[in-house]
A and B are shown apart, each in its own frame.
Chain A
């Protein structure tokens, strides 16, 4: 036998370091851009510099004459003028969706929209030649502001639709029968002296996912099947939809997502570029590659967030919440991409969060503007919802003069009330908000900080302290297929796995999940090591290639472990069941007399036994199998979750605000997350850290800004300010473990938790520090300039308007030396 030592301990719960690291720390990686094929050509896009214009001419003669240029194509040249990129989520039957050709046909709808492609023998020449393509534009007015876009007489971005509104979607618990009427409850509260109604408007600024690996696509047209490599989160969905868009039979396309450098929802897309590279490669009969530049990525890869949120909450004066009403405007940008329209709907059932609202209404209008299309970005709808509810709970606490954590506790679902059916009709599986909150308070030293806050206020310290709170939940494990069906989503939410036991007992695990940094190779190996009793090192996880892993729904929405991981469990169970039959035969025992443990089938009460590896070898040889039993112990499983899982947690941010400069700093950040059972605590912690950084970046650093012409003004890494190491503190992270009841591992989801929870914690903390100065709101990102202006305005001091909105460039905390505040930041 070639088996190595039997594992002695359980893998579940072990902080394993990752098996994927060996190649990543030595540069032995396979990024899409690394692929070079014989005769490969390079594609570059001519992109519109203007937001909205009619194309009156494309002159490519000079570009074609450049040595090395092979072709210049428009959509028509590639046969794509009638093609439209897919929108998989028509949220209403009458949703309006414009044609979304991979290259603009006669009108460009955002600055960055593709107009033509150049194909050349090397990438630099292709890029140079794009400068030589002369496109004549007849400018049209840009559509930039959602409210103006909806007003009578507004410029229509897609005149054929007759409106800039794509869809209006409503959930009303009164109508759904899951609660009362929020409108009625709010009206009643307004006339009730024992009740209070609080209304606020919040803005979710536009963000850019900014995964570190720029997108890249290679298509090889040789061989029987076309092969596409793409830096994508969704090779399976891409295969299906790229075939549908181009008319290629689906069985003639193979999609491979090799090593993928981050996604965060930003690579959950069927992109124009994927279709263009495919079409160009077929047309030329040569392999073609496109790799974007960072500046190109920032303007053309989809953006995220961008909502205006009008929130109304009603409560009794004793603090008990009565109703929540949410009215959203959601910016789609210029086109509906894959799930653009559904992003706000993913938040629709989350505004009520952990609180027991008896009545709830959510209404959302999706609006077209002449900006880059929006779509999924880490959390996708749920950060927006969590921000709004956690901000309004603080506002309610202020209005009622209540301690904000106590007010939350008064209204949240108590641990003994689970499973709990919410006002949206979702059944929350499990949770213990009290435990997570108690632990977080303890770790932060909440009470001591409250005292210090009071002291600082009393002595009018220039640096004020605030404590930001976010007690959140989210729905993970997208998604039960029947729920997706009821929301008109275009596909199911299942996931698949196959397990192949090789002749000498090594194991290949094939998963439909498609990792791009999550560590599935490690995590899935841990699951299988436990289930089959084979060593962790003997397991190889295969993914991201539709020929190796033919079925899958890919990775997004904190679904991989809670859905894909469970498929792995189910497949393992089938392998053990098949192996048991053969083991019984080999041992000449009854199946019922066998016990399986540590990878060995033992005959109860005897010393006789056989390992699963020995069974694998015997099955492979197939010399002596029971009658009618196939010579294979391999198995497949597809898991469709019965329900979501609902991780939760309490995040507390101790924020310091220098009232003289507006400088904000994070003194301490504590979070206690409950993600159910933790398969690998090291990976869980890593996910939380990264999530926090992105949520904090929304609160303090990032925003995609446009000028009046609709051009993205901070479209490079010089001015779209991702936080650096110097901008962030170390976080204190901890966990409580309330097992999920919706899957056999008791796991929830963790990929998005940090992002969802942290944004409101930070902003609540900033406001808590300066509210006593009269400040009631600071829009995100809370840059020094914005905070300083808010303080000045609240104090009745005039400030000079800055000539241009310069808040984003250099606004990061790290760009300001605390010992030497730059006066121009606050002039």
Chain B
């Protein structure tokens, strides 16, 4: 057993974990952060993506002990003060999810991508989320959502973009 001290979604935890425990299982099974999911066993699908110290990582490719002293943000901690993150909003407005299983990872990856490149073109979005598989959407609306979130996040655009009337897209 090894000790890990980590802040997850703003809450600090100190836990004894088995050295072989992967971060994703620590999040899911020890902390109950079941919003982050496991889609594969080869680190290919990206369903488990979270932010570690501000950068996206596949939490199935990181050991829990490796995040000692670090800060993790999962999909459950992305909304702030009851306000959805612009990427979350864009995902629903653009119908960028169907079953929603890939969605937590996809959103976390998109947030990371926009941190690097605030105004990506279609190709850049597609390449930026290449490590996250979605079987439902064909990616088209995901690409649209990421680009639309980029617009919403531009400096000067009020964070409180009113949701389109009654949840209906134009």
Contact = CB atoms under 8 A, between A and B. Distances in A.
A27 B104 contact: yes
Q: Interface centre among A33, A212, A536, by most B CB within 10 Å?
A: A212
Interface stretch (A468-476, A715-723, A773-781): A715-723
A212 B97 contact: no
Interface string A257-296: 0011110100000000000000000000000000001110
Interface stretch (B62-70, B72-80, B153-161): B72-80
Contact of B134 (A17, A212, A293, A731): A212
Contact of A18 (B41, B92, B130): B92
Interface in A28-44: 28-29, 31, 33-34, 36
Contacts of A517: 98-100, 136
B92 A21 contact: yes
Contact of A519 (B38, B98, B130, B141): B98
Interface in B27-52: 28-29, 33-42, 44-45, 47
A716 B39 CA distance: 11
Nearest to A683: B95
A262 B169 contact: no
A208 to B, nearest CB: 11
Interface stretch (A137-145, A362-370, A573-581, A688-696): A688-696
B103 interface: yes
B99 A716 contact: no
Contacts of A260: 99
Nearest to A30: B34
A692 B140 CA distance: 11
A17 B44 CA distance: 29
13 contacts: A16-B168, A21-B91, A25-B84, A25-B97, A27-B104, A211-B101, A213-B99, A259-B100, A262-B135, A517-B100, A691-B138, A717-B40, A730-B143
Contact of B137 (A31, A124, A689): A689
A17 B92 contact: yes
A520 to B, nearest CB: 11
Interface in B104-149: 104, 107, 122, 125-127, 129-143
Contacts of B127: 725-726
A724 B133 CA distance: 6
Given A17-B169, A26-B79, A294 B40 contact: yes
A212 B99 CA distance: 9
Nearest to B99: A517
Given A20-B100, A27-B34, A689-B140, A294 B39 contact: yes
A25 B98 contact: no
A27 to B, nearest CB: 2
Contacts of B169: 15, 17, 682
Given A15-B169, A25-B100, A214 B39 contact: yes
A725 B141 CA distance: 11
A34 B34 CA distance: 6
Given A24-B103, A26-B76, A726-B130, A212 B45 contact: yes
B35 A26 contact: yes
Contact of B95 (A18, A22, A722): A18
Nearest to A720: B44
B101 A212 contact: yes
B167 interface: yes
Q: Interface centre among A34, A124, A516, A690, by most B CB within 10 Å?
A: A690
In the complex, the 3 A-B pairs of residues with the closest C-beta atoms, listed nearest first: A27-B35, A261-B101, A24-B100
B48 to A, nearest CB: 12
A716 B42 contact: yes
Contacts of A725: 125-127, 129-130, 132, 134, 139, 142-143
Nearest to A231: B101
A642 interface: no
Given A212-B101, A730-B122, A718 B142 contact: no
Nearest to A211: B135
B80 to A, nearest CB: 12
A825 B83 CA distance: 48
A249 interface: no
A87 B12 CA distance: 52
B102 interface: yes
B88 interface: yes
**Chain A contact residues: helix, strand, loop or mixed:** loop
Nearest to B92: A21
Nearest to A296: B41
A177 interface: no
B136 A214 contact: no
Contact of A31 (B34, B79, B97): B34
A731 B97 contact: no
Contacts of B37: 31, 33, 213, 261
B138 A212 contact: no
A722 B140 CA distance: 15
Interface string A154-187: 0000000000000000000000000000000000
A323 to B, nearest CB: 37
A692 B139 CA distance: 11
B41 A716 contact: yes
Contacts of B33: 27
Nearest to A8: B166
B135 A264 contact: yes
Contacts of A26: 35, 75-76, 78-79, 84, 88
A240 interface: no
B35 A212 contact: no
Nearest to B93: A17
Nearest to B47: A212
B130 to A, nearest CB: 4
B133 A731 contact: no
Contacts of A28: 35, 76
B166 to A, nearest CB: 8
B41 A25 contact: no
A518 interface: yes
A212 B37 CA distance: 10
Q: Interface centre among B34, B78, B100, by most A CB within 10 Å?
A: B100
B42 A294 contact: yes
A789 B33 CA distance: 50
Contacts of A626: none
Contacts of B36: 27
A259 B122 CA distance: 31
B142 to A, nearest CB: 7
A821 interface: no
A666 to B, nearest CB: 12
Q: Interface centre among B88, B102, B136, by most A CB within 10 Å?
A: B136
Contacts of B93: 17
